[in-house]
């Protein structure tokens, strides 16, 4: 009998599903391997025959996992975890010996990880800054004190030495409650919140997919405090009953959880336009738009979210630093199409 692991050139790892195991094999394995490999990579390994369940090869990623299943997986040699500098253009808003402030474009991953070992912001920063980046974040996240989702654009600050890293990290950990740190985002959402200004106070935790988040009950083990302040600044396609087809919302974070704005806006019934994770149920809303706007909205292939403002205290001079970045061209084109509704 052929060894299904031989072709994969892999190291054999044996896992046993616990009594609460459920769901798809590819999803379960991705979570069980603690994020070492992306779900797409795990799916590929299954399809290659590099996974056995109870001694039998399984090539269907959708195969259900049951309590007690013994799962063997052939893990390929790990990719080089030490990022190298790459000549990737950076939009630098400010730079000195302590820090660098950039405007991250949509589509750029912040730091290397499973499925994204190259082509990240960290690779660009290593090339641009050389060895001056702070090492506190580790080899994969040098200088990184906060992050933006891959498809979210906007202002970020990166530490260039360890003292700056500690100072900036403390400000982000405090979330601006006792200091000058402030973060503001612009988001294009479906519909219009009933209240034009409000606060969303809803704890977040992991959803079924390890990469996603969901609103949780406060007593949930993984629930983390999450507070978003929002204000509607523009309304598009307003109707006589004061409802709208879409809105531009400004959000200020009081906490900084993964996907916070995206989950919170979806939670109150107004997901971000283009959001592939939390707004798919609203995708057909584009059918209510005039043809010209419908084309633009359907072509917008990311969440309409831009971190337009960042304010913090400089770690060396204690000066209050304030930076703003204009909405990028793709999102501006989306807003112009929505403004044309009126």
The answer to whether residue 325 scores a pLDDT higher than 60 is: yes
Confidence band for 8, pLDDT divided at 50, 70 and 90: very low
Nearest Cα neighbor of 288 from 244, 247, 331, 332 is 244
Instruction: Evaluate whether 11-75 and 92-174 have a shared fold.
Output: no
What pLDDT sits at residue 271?
97
Model confidence pLDDT, tens digit, residues 18-60? 877 788 898 888 888 765 667 777 888 888 888 999 988 889 9
What pLDDT sits at residue 159?
94
Model confidence pLDDT, tens digit, residues 66-114? 999 999 988 776 555 578 889 999 999 999 999 999 999 999 999 887 6
What CATH number labels 11-75?
3.10.290.10
Q: Is 149 a catalytic residue?
A: yes
Between CA 52 and CA 314 the distance in angstroms is 54
Chain center to CA of 52: 32
What pLDDT sits at residue 7?
46
Give me 129's structure tokens.
Answer: 């800054």
What pLDDT sits at residue 81?
59
* CA-derived radius of gyration, the chain: 22
Model confidence pLDDT, tens digit, residues 292-311? 999 999 999 999 999 999 99
Model confidence pLDDT, tens digit, residues 199-231? 999 999 988 766 789 999 988 888 899 999 999
Candidate CATH numbers 3.30.2350.10, 3.40.50.10480, 3.90.1170.20, 3.40.50.300; the one for domain 183-339? 3.30.2350.10
What DSSP element (H or E) covers 133?
none
In 143-218, which ranges are E strands?
A: 153-159, 182-190, 197-201, 204-206, 213-215
Model confidence pLDDT, tens digit, residues 250-267? 999 999 899 999 999 999
Higher pLDDT, 78 or 198: 198
Model confidence pLDDT, tens digit, residues 308-324? 999 999 999 999 999 99
Q: What's the CA angle centered on 105, arms 99 and 108, to 5 degrees? A: 90
Residues 6+ apart with CB under 8 A from 34: none
Provide the residue ranges of all domains of the chain, joining segments of one domain with +: 11-75, 92-174, 183-339
What pLDDT sits at residue 139?
63
Residues 6+ apart with CB under 8 A from 120: 83, 108, 109, 110, 111, 112
Q: Which has the minimum average pLDDT: 10-19, 58-67, 121-130, 293-302?
A: 10-19
Model confidence pLDDT, tens digit, residues 170-185? 999 988 888 899 999 9
Between CA 158 and CA 124 the distance in angstroms is 12
What pLDDT sits at residue 137?
67
What CATH number labels 92-174?
3.30.2350.10
What pLDDT sits at residue 22?
83
The answer to whether residue 6 scores a pLDDT higher than 60 is: no
Confidence band for 1, pLDDT divided at 50, 70 and 90: very low
Nearest Cα neighbor of 34 from 261, 226, 206 is 206
Which one is catalytic: 69, 98, 149, 330? Answer: 149
Long-range contacts made by residues 319-326, C-beta under 8 angstroms, separation at least 24? Answer: 320/180, 321/94, 321/101, 323/93, 323/94, 323/101, 323/155, 324/155, 325/91, 325/93, 325/103, 325/153, 325/154, 325/155
For residue 100, the tally of other CB atoms under 10 A from its CB is 23
Please give the average per-residue pLDDT across 148-156, as a whole number. 96
Between CA 196 and CA 318 the distance in angstroms is 35
With left for phi above 0 and alpha for psi between -120 and 50, is residue 247 left, alpha or beta? Answer: beta
């Amino acid at each position: 009998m052929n060894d299904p692991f031989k072709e994969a050139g892999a190291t054999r790892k044996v896992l046993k599903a616990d009594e609460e195991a459920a769901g798809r094999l590819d999803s379960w394995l991705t979570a069980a391997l603690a994020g070492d490999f992306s779900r797409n990579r795990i799916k590929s390994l299954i399809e290659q025959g590099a996974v056995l369940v109870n001694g039998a090869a399984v090539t269907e990623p959708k195969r259900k996992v049951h309590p007690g299943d013994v799962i063997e997986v052939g893990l390929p040699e790990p990719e080089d975890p030490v990022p190298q500098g790459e000549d990737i253009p950076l939009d630098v808003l400010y730079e000195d010996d302590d820090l660098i402030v950039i405007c991250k474009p949509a589509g750029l991953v912040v730091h290397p990880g499973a499925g994204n070992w190259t082509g990240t912001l960290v690779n660009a920063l290593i090339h641009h800054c050389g060895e001056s980046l702070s090492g506190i974040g580790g080899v994969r996240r040098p200088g990184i004190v906060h992050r933006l989702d891959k498809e979210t654009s906007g202002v970020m600050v990166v530490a260039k030495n360890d003292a700056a890293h500690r100072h900036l990290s403390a400000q982000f950990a405090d979330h601006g409650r006792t200091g000058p740190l402030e973060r503001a985002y612009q988001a294009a959402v479906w519909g219009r919140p009933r209240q034009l200004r409000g606060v969303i106070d809803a704890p977040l935790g992991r959803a079924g997919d390890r990469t996603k988040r969901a609103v949780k009950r406060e007593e949930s083990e993984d629930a983390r405090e999450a507070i978003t302040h929002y204000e509607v600044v523009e309304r598009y396609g307003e109707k006589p009953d004061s409802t709208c087809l879409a809105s531009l919302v400004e959000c200020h974070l009081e906490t900084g959880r993964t996907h916070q704005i995206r989950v919170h806006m979806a939670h109150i019934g107004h997901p971000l336009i283009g959001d592939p994770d939390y707004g798919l149920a609203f995708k057909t809303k584009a059918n209510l738009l005039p043809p010209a706007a419908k084309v633009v909205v359907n072509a917008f292939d990311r969440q309409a979210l831009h971190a337009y403002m960042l304010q913090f205290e400089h770690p060396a001079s204690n000066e209050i630093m304030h930076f703003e970045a204009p909405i990028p061209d793709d999102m501006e084109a989306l807003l112009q199409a929505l403004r044309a509704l009126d």
